[in-house]
Structure 1
Amino acid sequence: MNERIRKLREQTLTAEPKISAERAKLVTEFYKSPLAGQVSVPVARALAFKYILEHKELCVNDGELIVGERGPAPKETPTYPEISTHT
């Protein structure tokens, strides 16, 4: 195992699991905008997803060759408020 891999492994093993509210905040921002009330529900959901993709913070850690995390940091998991069985 080379030094780069060792550092990435250590970073993953020592990271503390957390819940990220970023996605929930972005969905809330979109649905508070005037546009959300002017379109049908299916279109609003699609536009909310577009808003998330345009505004989500990307996580790129040092030493990664393949980048990306589910949340804004290692072991930080987002909530998915737009996926609901109540609507």
Structure 2
Amino acid sequence: MSNKKLKRIKATDIELKDKLVAVNRVTKVTKGGRTFSFSAIVVVGNENGIVGFGLGKAKEVSAAIAKGIDDAKKNSGEERRRAHDLFPALW
């Protein structure tokens, strides 16, 4: 991806695929004990130049993933692609 900002688009108009990149468990230790929460990094795109990434945090994994997908759709934009660009790690 280039250093230029993405051209913002409305993600509701386009069918996007989502891919879970990572899930992390976070532990907060307090006087009363340990509190667990989760964070999820998600990438969405249509495999044809539109891409978005998001971070979701919640007490449960499924809620963190759902929040990450929503955040990725909000932060999606159109990235100019060239013939030699490959993104094998994302798809």
Bucket of the pairwise TM-score, normalised by the shorter protein: 0.3 to 0.5
- Structure that is richer in strand per residue: 2
Larger Rg: 1
Identify which of structures 1 and 2 has the higher relative contact order when contacts are C-alpha pairs closer than 8 Å and 6+ apart: 1
Question: Which TM-score applies when normalising by structure 2?
Answer: 0.31
Question: Which TM-score applies when normalising by structure 1?
Answer: 0.32
- Structure that is richer in helix per residue: 1
